[in-house]
C-alpha cells in the first residue's frame, strides 16, 4: 500500500526513490540565498550521512533489544560497523537550540574518533576519520546561523532513513542524483567531481569486473566509478562483497563525499585516501606501486600546476614513457595508471579529451606507448559528455596482456554520433552502449563505425591516434539533412583528415 510517497510493508514503510530525491533536493534548496549553490554539498552530504547512520544504528539497536533485551543490545552495539557514541546521535543534536553548529561539529568529531579504520593488507580499510569533511563552515554563524542549521535538521527529520525505509541501492541512487544536481552548479570544477554516469556505465561494461578483483581509481572524485563497478556485479547477481576498492582524491571535501558514497551504497571494504596522486601515490608495496586488476579514471585534464621536475626523477618509475610537458599532465596520469596495472590481469579504461591522441608535444611519449602494445582500443565519443564542457571525449582501453587476436593491433571505434541530448544533458542511451560494447567485443572492422589497425599503420601516420584517420563515421548524402552538431562533427573529421594528408605531403617535400 502506498501513501504520500511511502510504501508500507511488514517492516514499516519504504520511501519511494522519487520521493527521496525530491526530499533531498528540497533540503538542499533551503540553503538558497544563504550560500552559493556550488557550496550546497559541503553541508547536505554530511547531514544526510549523519541522519542515515543514526537511523540505521537505531534500527539495528532495536533489533538487538527484540532479540535479547537492552543489556544485550548495548553489548552487541559495540560491534556494529558504525558506532555512535553517547551524546553524538542525531536526536542529541536535534535537541540543541543554541550554538547548533558547534554541537554538530562535536558530534561529527566524536563519531569519527569512535570509528577508526582497520589496518589490513598494507592499507587502512573503512573508518570514518575525516568523513564529514571540513567543519569550519558549521561554526561560522554569519554563514550558517543556528536558525538555518536547525531548519535543515528539522527538514531531514521528516523521514526515517533506516535500511528498511531506504535500502542501500535506493540510497545510493538518491546520493548519485544529488551528486549530479550539485555538479550542475559547480561550473568548471564539476569535471573533477562528477563524470557522466552513462559513460561510466560503458567503461564498467567494457572492463567486466569479476568477484574478488581489485578496483582502483587514482582520481576518484565522488566515487561514482568505483560504485558503478560494484553495481555491475550486483546487478548481474554476482558476489561483490569480496571486491577490494581503492581510491585517491586530492580534494578533502570530495574525498569525504566519495567515502560517504561507498558507505551509503553498502560498501565496507574500501580504502579512499586524500592525497595528490602524482606527488604522493597512496597505494604502494615497498618500493613499487601496488598493482590492481582494474584501473579506471577520469583524470583532471591538461592541468598546468604539477611538479614535472619530480616526475622526471620519479622514484616509483612512472616516467617510463617520458615526462609530459608542463602545460599538460595528462600523460603523467596515464603512466601512473599503466604502472598500477597488474602484470597479468591488469586492464584500464581512461576518459580523456581527444587531444591526447594527436598533440605534437606528446608525440615521443605516444610513440613509445603504441610500440609497447598496451593500447587495445580507442573509443571516440560525441561532444558534451565531459561535464559542463562542449569538447569531445575519448576512452582509451589498455591491457597488460592483450589477447592473441588483439596483439599488434588497436581497435578504433568512432562513436561520435552515438549521443543524445535530453533535459540539457548529453548522454549515451542503452542502445548506444550496446552498439559500442558489441563492436569492442567483436574486435572487427565495421564500415562507418570501427576499424582494426596495426601498429605499423599507426606508425605510418606518425603515431597519430586520432580516430577519424582510421574509422570514418557514416558519410552523408548530398541531399541528407543533418543537425548542426552532426554537421560540425562531420566537418571536423574531414578537417583532421585533410591536415594529416597535408602534414604527410610536407614531410615528403622536405626529405
The SS3 assignment for 94 reads helix
Q: What is the dihedral of CA 180, 183, 184, 189, to 10 degrees?
A: -160
Look at residue 488 in the predicted model and tell me its pLDDT: 56
Write out the three cell numbers for 357: 591522441
Look at residue 301 in the predicted model and tell me its pLDDT: 83
CB 340 within 8 A of CB 289: yes
Segments of the chain with pLDDT less than 70: 1-12, 184-194, 387-389, 424, 473-511
Measure Cα distances from 495 to 359, 361, 363, 388, 481 in Å.
15, 20, 20, 25, 20
Look at residue 191 in the predicted model and tell me its pLDDT: 52
- CA distance linking residue 252 with residue 45, whole number of Å: 13
pTM: 0.85
pLDDT 10s digits, 7-51: 433 345 789 999 999 999 999 999 988 888 778 899 999 999 999
Look at residue 37 in the predicted model and tell me its pLDDT: 78
- Find the helix packing angle between 41-68 and 168-184, rounded to 10°: 170
Look at residue 213 in the predicted model and tell me its pLDDT: 95
Partners of 427 in beta bridges? 420
Largest separation between any pair of C-alpha atoms in the chain: 90
Please, what are the domains in the chain? 2-166 (1.20.1260.30), 197-509 (3.40.50.150)
In angstroms, the first-to-last Cα distance of the chain is 80
Q: What is the CA radius of gyration of the chain?
A: 25
Look at residue 172 in the predicted model and tell me its pLDDT: 86
CB 311 within 8 A of CB 336: no
Q: Residue 452: name the closest of 440, 462, 460, 464 by CA.
A: 440
Angle at 356 between CA 350 and CA 362, to 5 degrees: 130
Look at residue 177 in the predicted model and tell me its pLDDT: 85
Look at residue 136 in the predicted model and tell me its pLDDT: 92
CB 380 within 8 A of CB 496: no
Look at residue 162 in the predicted model and tell me its pLDDT: 94
Look at residue 173 in the predicted model and tell me its pLDDT: 86
Distance of alpha carbon 36 from the chain centroid? 24
Write out the three cell numbers for 270: 574500501
Look at residue 195 in the predicted model and tell me its pLDDT: 79
Look at residue 276 in the predicted model and tell me its pLDDT: 95
Look at residue 415 in the predicted model and tell me its pLDDT: 94
Amino acid at each position: 500500500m502506498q501513501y504520500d510517497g511511502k510504501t508500507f510493508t511488514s517492516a514499516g514503510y519504504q520511501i519511494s526513490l522519487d520521493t527521496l530525491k525530491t526530499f533531498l533536493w528540497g533540503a538542499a534548496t533551503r540553503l538558497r540565498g544563504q550560500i552559493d549553490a556550488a557550496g550546497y554539498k559541503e553541508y547536505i552530504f554530511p547531514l544526510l550521512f549523519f541522519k542515515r547512520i543514526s537511523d540505521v544504528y537505531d534500527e539495528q539497536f532495536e533489533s538487538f533489544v527484540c532479540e535479547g533485551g537492552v543489556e544485550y543490545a548495548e553489548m552487541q552495539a559495540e560491534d556494529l560497523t558504525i558506532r555512535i557514541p553517547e551524546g553524538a546521535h542525531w536526536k542529541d543534536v536535534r535537541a540543541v537550540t543554541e550554538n547548533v553548529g558547534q554541537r554538530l561539529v562535536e558530534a561529527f568529531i566524536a563519531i569519527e574518533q569512535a570509528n577508526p579504520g582497520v589496518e589490513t593488507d598494507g592499507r587502512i580499510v573503512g573508518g570514518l576519520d575525516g568523513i564529514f569533511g571540513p567543519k569550519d563552515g558549521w561554526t561560522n554563524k554569519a554563514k550558517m546561523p543556528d536558525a538555518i542549521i536547525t531548519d535543515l535538521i528539522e527538514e531531514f527529520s521528516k523521514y526515517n532513513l533506516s535500511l528498511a525505509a531506504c535500502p542501500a541501492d535506493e540510497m545510493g541512487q538518491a546520493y548519485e542524483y544529488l551528486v549530479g544536481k550539485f555538479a550542475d552548479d559547480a561550473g568548471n570544477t564539476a569535471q573533477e567531481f562528477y563524470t557522466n554516469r552513462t559513460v561510466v556505465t560503458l567503461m564498467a561494461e567494457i572492463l567486466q569486473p569479476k568477484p574478488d578483483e581489485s578496483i582502483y581509481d587514482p582520481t576518484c572524485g565522488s566515487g561514482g566509478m568505483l560504485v558503478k563497478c560494484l553495481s555491475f556485479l550486483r546487478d548481474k547477481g554476482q558476489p561483490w562483497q569480496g571486491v577490494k576498492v581503492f581510491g585517491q582524491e586530492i580534494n578533502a571535501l570530495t574525498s569525504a563525499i566519495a567515502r560517504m558514497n561507498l558507505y551509503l551504497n553498502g560498501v565496507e571494504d574500501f580504502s579512499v585516501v586524500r592525497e595528490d596522486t602524482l606527488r604522493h601515490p597512496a597505494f604502494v608495496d615497498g618500493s613499487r606501486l601496488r598493482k590492481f586488476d582494474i584501473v579506471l579514471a577520469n583524470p583532471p585534464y591538461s592541468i598546468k600546476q604539477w611538479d614535472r621536475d619530480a616526475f622526471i626523477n620519479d622514484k616509483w618509475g612512472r616516467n617510463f614513457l617520458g615526462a609530459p610537458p608542463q602545460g599538460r599532465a595528462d600523460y603523467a596520469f596515464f603512466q601512473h595508471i599503466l604502472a598500477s596495472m597488474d602484470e597479468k590481469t591488469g586492464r584500464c579504461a581512461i576518459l580523456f579529451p581527444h587531444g591526447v591522441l594527436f598533440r605534437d608535444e606528446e608525440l615521443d611519449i605516444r610513440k613509445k606507448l603504441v610500440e609497447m602494445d598496451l593500447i587495445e582500443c580507442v573509443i571516440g565519443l560525441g561532444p558534451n559528455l565531459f561535464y559542463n564542457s562542449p569538447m569531445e571525449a575519448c576512452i582509451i582501453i589498455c591491457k597488460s596482456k592483450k589477447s592473441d587476436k588483439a596483439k599488434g593491433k588497436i581497435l578504433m571505434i568512432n562513436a561520435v554520433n552515438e549521443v543524445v541530448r535530453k533535459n540539457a544533458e548529453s548522454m549515451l542511451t542503452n542502445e548506444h552502449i550496446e552498439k559500442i560494447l558489441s563492436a569492442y567485443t567483436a574486435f572487427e572492422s565495421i564500415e562507418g563505425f570501427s576499424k582494426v589497425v596495426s601498429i605499423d599503420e599507426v606508425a605510418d601516420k606518425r603515431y597519430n591516434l586520432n580516430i577519424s584517420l582510421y574509422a570514418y563515421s557514416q558519410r552523408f548524402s548530398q541531399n541528407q539533412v543533418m543537425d548542426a552538431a552532426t554537421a560540425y562533427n562531420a566537418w571536423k573529421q574531414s578537417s583532421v583528415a585533410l591536415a594529416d594528408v597535408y602534414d604527410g605531403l610536407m614531410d615528403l617535400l622536405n626529405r
